[in-house]
Structure 1
């Protein structure tokens, strides 16, 4: 056989090896591909129901901790004596008001079933819907898609319903089941990716984000909802931690402060919409931030089941950096667990110092903070709240101050640690061409720890508005009833008044293509933004306006939106709008209370 014959005979094997090598390289690249955060939604203490509202609180150095919720009214709960049985020596915390309100019909749920649903299930339905709409995704379009749901939660004290046998109506078991927190979102929206509820205590939502990142990289889903929720329907946790003397009497987390005296409990819900960065760029999504890497580990046998473990925290942070293909020098800031305890905070700071301190220049410390000082410890939702905070900080170029920490803890060896506490807000600017990056930590009472590394998004190409001159553009709002249409118009107007850079075509495209259109509708023909806001305000007030047409859509036929000019995916509406805040799934006045 000639050499040429041998070469021709070997070609199929060579091609097969080349294909295998290319496949392996692609697989390895996919395992490290950044994950895009394309949307966020939240409900937090202080009446906060949007990320924008959360940022206003953070930027102002606000404190959202307040008195006990109205749903506990009538309970003889408070006693300043920590030894008092069945009492709480703290009567403040970070609470969500109005959690009883729920528009069951909006989600196709009967009032009877809704009454038996834990408010945590109701809240994640609302917030997931809103997060999708903010991403420019019509929730109804995801039916039968490989969309995953990863949500963290802890125990359901709404399950106390089960103690009354006569109250069992066939819906209580699913209404209080933690598995249904994620499963109900998938069921309601028809999602066919994994639906996983995570309970690792305080780290639940950050572990959920980690699992979603892994699933996207492994191709288990194409889009993922990730986050967590905590609602305290009963004051059990307050009573329990009073006996342990583990709460701050004033209900405030004094993270890394000399005044740290215990955790302050809070409620909250946060949901992220995640995609592979390549998919987000392909689809023209606005990328708020990217997740470079994440890691999860366990303390194992340590000083105690609930005691924090410094070496384990070091390992999970280093593992997240390794997964991100970054070094400690690449990180600018850390959103810490920072519960405000005299035991946990020094251990956490010590672990951070071990990772980030060696070789760190004194003029470029890792800036340390915690949003728990603003809203309290939201437990299963705490990790995702930290992610939302740091994404907002990246967007605004500002690291918010940590409250109640005028005097840093003397139990932390700050000198030479490479750390600096954010006792004041600080501008967060780029250092040359290096992207800004931050880590977010969350450590569970169960011993399960999580860390996520965030990076600012790639710079997007700007594009100009496609409409020249005063051409009327239709903007559509809708709702299940006339009142819902007016409320939606009011939210649009409020949002636009704070966004002078938003483009009219951006808003029109968002409203027409990226919102679910309900039966009751209104169309506003506007030539400029001021005219649009004026007409929206009139619609919200129920007043007549020449630019506004209202009506009820018929089921036959299709609604058509005619928008002058050409708008491509990835154009100005992506860069400027991020698909504005006003969304359809908002809490109704209908009260669902057992």
Structure 2
């Protein structure tokens, strides 16, 4: 409380009541604000058809307008035995194509601490989710070992039970069948493996599952049930039964493609894959310095209720969920410039969806404010429980690149859609995302065939000014690790490819994220480089087995972190200009030394920094004890802070002479202010002693040194025994010099110490 404030009990009753009302209103405002706080997307992971195994390759597929539909893989089932072009043929399917990913049977269980025997009973959807979630967290720069025991939530959309049908045949049922196939364990296993203790929920609302999961994750973050959330969708097509069912219901397009909004739209194409986004409250992401990819402004979920049929879309319900999401995000309809549509490519659903979009978002738009609409399903089919995640990741990438990828298979617009009445444009080629009416904001819809609808509103990431580096480091350290040599080689190769594709990278950012945002494993690589080109060349040398300077490798046999001790040296090790390069290039070191300089000002006649780094032509009193000891203390303390900033924490500290005082300080015996005051006074008292003394370190046994100083017993003595053959002598200058001369004549290594008093 400052001197101008008054205690509340001195105010009148009316003023106290007014103050209480103001405080209550502030709390209510904060509570309301928390309910709609934007949610930051800080990490992505994906495995989608067409080889889109990461966000970069997914964007390449989208921007190039790739059609990722292909024949049903032969390792799923024998399509020739089941295919029949006649849609009325019982027990057959009239579709031969879909959106598939590769190697769904491949999994490294031991990486996740799972036994191979248990992995056999695990639904590949569980396995795929583990892999992609790990990648998403790495993409977010969230070290997984730091998440153990944290309030991190998991929200997974999943709907297909194909593997369960195989795993529950009586002859293959084992102890792991239930946990290997239950939807609840799909999310629960991820939480268990990573040690996450926030909410963990599996959601099945069919095609809207993953977007409903995003909505629930946002709510959980806003309610502070969790501080980090993984929202995911996973879907694999492993058996033909569902496809046969959908063919009997005539849901699928015979050519296996979603021809969304086209007059040829005649059903959807099935697709598979997995997508994961890492979410944080926007305020937390900004405070933590996270790389914010996009922001979820609002979300909503509702139900069709009594529509024209159980699986028939309900236009008014779609309008309602979009309006609710806009209201939740405090976004006006006219601010939305793009919609990633559900857009399955059905003759009934497409017109209903576009009419609903026009009703909510179309009013009052000028010709230059047309609403652009597209659907990723034209690229890879309908990923069902992972469909919302495919759309969301496409949306995030589009916002980042400020481009809208082409919408495929639109040759003749669907005549049942009233195009002339709708201010809607379907981009059929890569389209720059220009928007002169505020920030870029988009919407994303997912509608489940069970009637559950979801819509979210996404905004481009806030513009953040890059932090200017005060002084660029002359060299950077990149550390990589993996659980096997092959995996380490592959990881190094990916970094090499990235550096080749980005010839002018921010090397400091790359190394920082790699060093701090990933778990460390036993197979390790460390590379020291001055530039991105040099780093790329060194990685190539590692990959090809060529020995190169600055490249260090090793396998850590002992998985336990080794204990670390910091040793602080004593007087005699000082030199003018010591650690100048660190002071000029390392902000942490400079800040610590500047702080010591400020604290020592009242105790030193000359400022510490001018003693350490005198101007050209000036002499320094550094070798005077009054300055030597405070200078060494300050320098060693700054080094300690620098090591700490790099994540190197000592398990124990030890010091010699002046170093003992620094060790006691960093161990918490006293604070920095008291430590510097103590060492400055010690140095002042020693400086006041008569001059003319000298000290020397003798690298010889104690007995030999004792014999050497015996003739000068009244002038020279042993000051300290630092080791079996490391003895320090001290005394009158003439006596010490005489002893040194005699010892050197015998070949003994003697090192005079730079001290002004002894």
TM-score, structure 2 as length reference:
0.72
Tell me what 2:499 maps to. 496
Find the aligned partners of 1:128 and 1:162 in 2 and give their Cα distance.
24
SS at match of 1:38: strand
1:520 aligned residue (497, 519, 523): 523
Cα deviation 1:450-470 (Å, max 9, x = unaligned):
00000011110123345547x
Cα deviation 1:145-188 (Å, max 9, x = unaligned):
11000110103110013432221111010111011111111101
1:65 aligned residue (66, 69, 74): 69
Tell me what 1:574 maps to. none
Find the aligned partners of 2:101 and 2:269 in 1 and give their Cα distance.
14
SS at match of 1:453: strand
1:540 aligned residue (543, 554, 560): 543
* Cα shift at 1:89: 1.0
Q: Does the 8 A contact of 1:155 with 1:178 survive in 2?
A: no
Find the aligned partners of 2:85 and 2:418 in 1 and give their Cα distance.
33
Tell me what 1:577 maps to. none
2:552 aligned residue (549, 553, 562): 549
Find the aligned partners of 1:372 and 1:457 in 2 and give their Cα distance.
25
SS at match of 2:207: coil
Tell me what 1:592 maps to. none
Alpha-carbon distance change, 556 to 370 in structure 1, aligned in 2, over 3 angstroms: closer
Q: Does the 8 A contact of 1:356 with 1:417 survive in 2?
A: no
Tell me what 1:480 maps to. 483
Find the aligned partners of 1:241 and 1:566 in 2 and give their Cα distance.
63
**Within 5 Å, which residues of 2 pair with 1:72-221?**
72-74=76-78, 76-221=81-226
Greater shift after overlay, 440-449 or 472-481? 472-481
Q: Does the 8 A contact of 1:35 with 1:276 survive in 2?
A: yes
Over the aligned positions, Cα root-mean-square deviation in angstroms equals 2.0
Q: Does the 8 A contact of 1:201 with 1:446 survive in 2?
A: yes
Q: Does the 8 A contact of 1:467 with 1:505 survive in 2?
A: no
Find the aligned partners of 1:531 and 1:336 in 2 and give their Cα distance.
45
Q: Does the 8 A contact of 2:168 with 2:177 survive in 1?
A: no
* Cα shift at 1:118: 0.5
Q: Does the 8 A contact of 1:477 with 1:485 survive in 2?
A: yes
Find the aligned partners of 2:115 and 2:157 in 1 and give their Cα distance.
25
Cα deviation 1:48-90 (Å, max 9, x = unaligned):
1101111001111111111112322445222212122222111
Q: Please, which runs of 5 or more residues in structure 2 have no aligned partner?
A: 1-7, 566-581, 590-758
2:375 aligned residue (358, 363, 370): 370
Tell me what 2:273 maps to. 268
Tell me what 2:399 maps to. 394
Report the number of matched residues. 561
**Within 5 Å, which residues of 2 pair with 1:292-303?**
292-303=297-308
Find the aligned partners of 1:309 and 1:483 in 2 and give their Cα distance.
52
Tell me what 1:590 maps to. none
Cα deviation 1:178-231 (Å, max 9, x = unaligned):
111111111011111000111000000000000011111111111100021101
**Within 5 Å, which residues of 2 pair with 1:364-513?**
364-431=369-436, 434-465=438-469, 468=472, 471-513=474-516
1:288 aligned residue (293, 297, 316): 293
SS at match of 2:75: helix
Does residue 256 of structure 2 align to residue 246 of structure 1? no
Q: Does the 8 A contact of 1:357 with 1:416 survive in 2?
A: no
Cα deviation 1:315-370 (Å, max 9, x = unaligned):
10111111111121010010000001111111111111111222222332100100
* Cα shift at 1:11: 6.3
Q: Does the 8 A contact of 2:150 with 2:196 survive in 1?
A: yes
Q: Does the 8 A contact of 1:466 with 1:567 survive in 2?
A: no
1:354 aligned residue (350, 356, 359): 359
Alpha-carbon distance change, 559 to 538 in structure 1, aligned in 2, over 3 angstroms: farther
Find the aligned partners of 1:63 and 1:155 in 2 and give their Cα distance.
24
Alpha-carbon distance change, 81 to 565 in structure 1, aligned in 2, over 3 angstroms: farther
Cα deviation 1:236-271 (Å, max 9, x = unaligned):
222111111221112110111122121000001110
Q: Does the 8 A contact of 1:159 with 1:176 survive in 2?
A: yes
Q: Does the 8 A contact of 1:210 with 1:294 survive in 2?
A: yes
Find the aligned partners of 2:202 and 2:483 in 1 and give their Cα distance.
30
Find the aligned partners of 1:308 and 1:278 in 2 and give their Cα distance.
37
SS at match of 2:232: strand
Q: Does the 8 A contact of 2:77 with 2:240 survive in 1?
A: no
Alpha-carbon distance change, 556 to 286 in structure 1, aligned in 2, over 3 angstroms: closer
Tell me what 1:586 maps to. none
**Within 5 Å, which residues of 2 pair with 1:581-592?**
none
Find the aligned partners of 1:78 and 1:543 in 2 and give their Cα distance.
53
Higher relative contact order (CA 8 A, sep 6+): 1
Q: Does the 8 A contact of 2:83 with 2:92 survive in 1?
A: yes
Tell me which protein shows more helix as a share of its residues.
Answer: 2
Pair member with larger Rg: 2
SS at match of 1:71: coil
Alpha-carbon distance change, 344 to 266 in structure 1, aligned in 2, over 3 angstroms: same
Find the aligned partners of 1:192 and 1:490 in 2 and give their Cα distance.
35
Q: Does the 8 A contact of 2:40 with 2:282 survive in 1?
A: yes
Alpha-carbon distance change, 176 to 400 in structure 1, aligned in 2, over 3 angstroms: same
Alpha-carbon distance change, 467 to 103 in structure 1, aligned in 2, over 3 angstroms: farther
Alpha-carbon distance change, 445 to 326 in structure 1, aligned in 2, over 3 angstroms: same
Tell me what 1:341 maps to. 346
Q: Does the 8 A contact of 1:161 with 1:172 survive in 2?
A: no
Tell me what 2:31 maps to. 27
Q: Does the 8 A contact of 2:93 with 2:243 survive in 1?
A: yes
Alpha-carbon distance change, 559 to 324 in structure 1, aligned in 2, over 3 angstroms: farther
1:49 aligned residue (53, 63, 76): 53
Find the aligned partners of 1:269 and 1:498 in 2 and give their Cα distance.
26
Cα deviation 1:98-124 (Å, max 9, x = unaligned):
011111111110111111111111111
Find the aligned partners of 1:208 and 1:260 in 2 and give their Cα distance.
29
